[in-house]
């Protein structure tokens, strides 16, 4: 007698290695039907993350094929799609890895209740994080609002060892029909930027693992210093893979922990960064408004500026402030931005331009291939001063002095700003191919003068801050 299948609903876990929901499903002995659903929540992704997701889906379909399986693609509301698949295949259960952003939580709760009501075996597993957000509690039983005590609480905790990928996935006798990935047009909104960013992506499980190995084989030793220098390849660049789940966080943690045990300098700093990621999810779970509203409501009365010509100059990498423009251009060329750059451009937008942080948050969500709902929200609210454990508003990064400190030889600037170099390199020039033609940018034009005097912008921000009592 042939066993009825289980459906594996893949979302941000495009891997076979270190995947608890897959191990649980394989243990059932039933045939498995892997599915990816282009539902309204996924359709709503920004241009760059959606394009990059399409690449990830394509790579994962190949990984599954090599393991004797397939990735079935369906479009529509998740519950309707899953119900249809259950009816078509006679599946007795649906498994997935948990997500924690507000929209996914609402969707998944509804899907789970409805499928359970039909008598199906429905299981949601950990997989995206090391520590489920509700399992880390303060002594008083609440959640952590500050990173350092959170780090102290989790640093010594056991993280289960990663589970190896199964060599083969049991296939059903009959495969249900699948959409064609090309028909989903996941790259449509990226337009011409896709061709430029394509040179920088590293897609799929093997690529992610190679990145981890390469980082731990050398750069980790200098990570504590080099992670602040945007011109150096000093960080792991794993954010692109972690966000689509092309590598399991437990795999990364255990590899880094081994480096730490071997006394590798930089390994502890790297472990701490992985915990920043966990912390951002802890915050998003407990205070979901972090994704769209001031975490501290005292900031609701702050006179943030709305969108306008200054924000547009910021978006275009044309503020005349070299560090800011370099980082913004890095994002259009590579799809990611160095952490130091993210801090500078976010501080500049929210302080020197006094523009609402949600404008920057939304723009990053459209442009970053490593967009992550929790890290992006925490990062923006941190920079703006409105978030938990945030940089105090009165501490304003000066992009000019930051440049001297973190790009003293000007390599980062020259790499991405064609107008500042006599013989611009291919990356600096490719910025002009990546951005919308409608922006009318031209490398032969003069680099713009600063749109805001740094001292004036700083004084204006501080005055607005003082006017509301300097709290928050
Ligand atoms: P590494 O330095 O190699 O760190 C390893 C991993 O640790 C990263 O891949 C990431 O998963 C995690 N990590 C490191 N720093 C942070 C941090 N500050 N917060 C949370 N996790 C961290 N990160 C994203 O992954 N997606 C985003 O959309 C995002 N938006 C941000 C927006 C702003 C305004 C700021 C200030 C930061 C943002 N970050 C975001 C955090 C950080 O900039 C990136 O995680 C980091 O630059 C990724 O490069 P890497 O993989 O080489 O990091």
- Helices 147-154 and 267-286 cross at an angle (nearest 10°) of 110
pLDDT bucket at 313, cuts 50 / 70 / 90: very high
Q: 336: CA distance to ligand 1 center in Å?
A: 10
pLDDT in tens, 131-174: 999 999 999 999 999 999 999 999 999 999 999 999 999 999 99
Q: How far apart are CA 66 and CA 48, in angstroms?
A: 28
Find tokens 């991405």 and name the residue.
416
Ligand 1 mean position, distance from CA 230 (Å):
13
pLDDT for res 360: 98
Q: Is the pLDDT of residue 310 over 80?
A: yes
ipTM of the complex: 0.99
Nearest to 5 by CA among 38, 35, 36, 29: 29
Amino acid 34: pLDDT: 99
Per-residue pLDDT at 471: 61
**Mutation to probe ligand 1, out of 46, 228, 273, 381 (largest number of atoms < 8 A from CB):** 273
**Average of per-residue pLDDT across 369-378:** 98
pLDDT of the residue at 257: 98
Whether residue 339 lies in the annotated active site: yes
Measured in Å, residue 337 CA sits from the centre of ligand 1 at 9
Residue to substitute in 233, 277, 385 for testing ligand 1 pocket (most ligand atoms within 8 angstroms of CB) = 277
Q: What is the pTM of this model?
A: 0.98
User: Which residues, 6+ apart, have CB-to-CB distance to 333 below 8 Å?
Assistant: 196, 197, 200, 416, 427, 430, 431, 434
Asked if pLDDT for residue 472 goes beyond 90, the answer is no
pLDDT digit string (tens) for 103-141?
A: 999 999 999 999 999 999 999 999 999 999 999 999 999
Contact 201, 52 (CB under 8 A): yes
Residues in Cβ contact with 106 at an 8 Å cutoff, skipping those fewer than 6 apart: none
Ligand 1 environment, Cβ below 6 A:
227, 235-239, 242-243, 273-274, 276-277, 280, 339, 342-343, 346, 364, 368, 370-372, 375-376, 379-380, 383
| Percent of the chain surpassing pLDDT 70 | 99
- pLDDT band at residue 395 under the 50/70/90 scheme: confident
């Amino acid at each position: 007698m042939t066993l009825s299948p289980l459906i594996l609903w893949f979302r941000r876990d495009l891997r076979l290695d270190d995947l608890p929901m897959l191990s649980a499903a394989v243990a059932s002995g039933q045939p498995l039907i892997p599915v990816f659903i282009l539902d309204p929540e996924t359709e709503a992704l920004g241009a760059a993350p959606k394009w990059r997701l399409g690449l990830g889906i394509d790579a994962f379909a190949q990984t599954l094929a090599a393991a004797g399986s397939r990735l079935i693609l369906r479009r529509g509301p998740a519950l309707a799609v899953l119900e249809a698949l259950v009816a078509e295949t006679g599946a007795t259960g649906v498994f997935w890895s948990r997500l924690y952003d507000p929209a996914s939580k609402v969707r998944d709760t509804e899907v789970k209740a409805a499928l359970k009501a039909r008598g199906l075996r429905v299981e949601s597993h950990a997989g995206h994080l090391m520590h489920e957000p509700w399992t880390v509690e303060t002594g008083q039983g609440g959640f952590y609002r500050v990173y350092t005590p959170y780090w102290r609480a989790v640093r010594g905790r056991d993280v289960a060892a990663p589970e190896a990928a199964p060599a083969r996935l049991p296939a059903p006798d009959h495969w249900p029909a699948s959409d064609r990935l090309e028909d989903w047009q996941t790259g449509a909104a990226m337009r011409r930027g896709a061709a430029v960013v394509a040179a920088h992506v590293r897609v799929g499980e093997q690529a992610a693992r190679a990145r981890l190995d390469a980082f731990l084989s050398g750069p980790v030793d200098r990570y504590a210093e080099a992670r602040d220098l945007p011109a150096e390849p000093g960080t792991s660049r794993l954010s692109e893979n972690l966000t689509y789940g092309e590598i399991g966080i437990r795999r990364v943690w255990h590899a880094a922990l081994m480096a730490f045990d071997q006394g590798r300098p930089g390994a502890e700093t790297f472990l701490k960064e992985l915990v920043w990621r966990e912390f951002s999810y802890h915050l998003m779970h407990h205070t979901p408004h972090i994704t769209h509203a001031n975490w501290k409501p005292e900031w609701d009365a702050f006179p943030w500026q709305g969108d306008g010509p200054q924000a547009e100059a910021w978006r275009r990498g044309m503020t005349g402030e070299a560090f800011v423009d370099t980082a913004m251009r890095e994002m259009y060329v590579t799809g990611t931005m160095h952490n130091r750059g993210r801090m500078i451009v976010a501080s500049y937008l929210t302080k020197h331009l006094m523009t609402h942080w949600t404008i920057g948050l939304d723009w990053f969500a459209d442009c970053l291939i490593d967009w992550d709902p929790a890290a992006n929200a925490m990062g923006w609210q941190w920079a703006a001063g409105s978030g938990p454990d945030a940089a105090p508003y009165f501490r304003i990064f000066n992009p000019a002095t930051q440049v001297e400190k973190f790009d003293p030889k000007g390599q980062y600037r020259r790499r991405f700003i064609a107008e500042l170099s006599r013989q611009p390199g291919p990356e600096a020039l490719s910025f002009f191919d990546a951005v919308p033609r409608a922006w009318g940018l031209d490398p032969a034009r003069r680099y713009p003068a600063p749109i805001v005097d740094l001292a004036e912008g700083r004084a204006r921000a501080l005055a607005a801050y003082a006017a509301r009592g300097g709290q928050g």
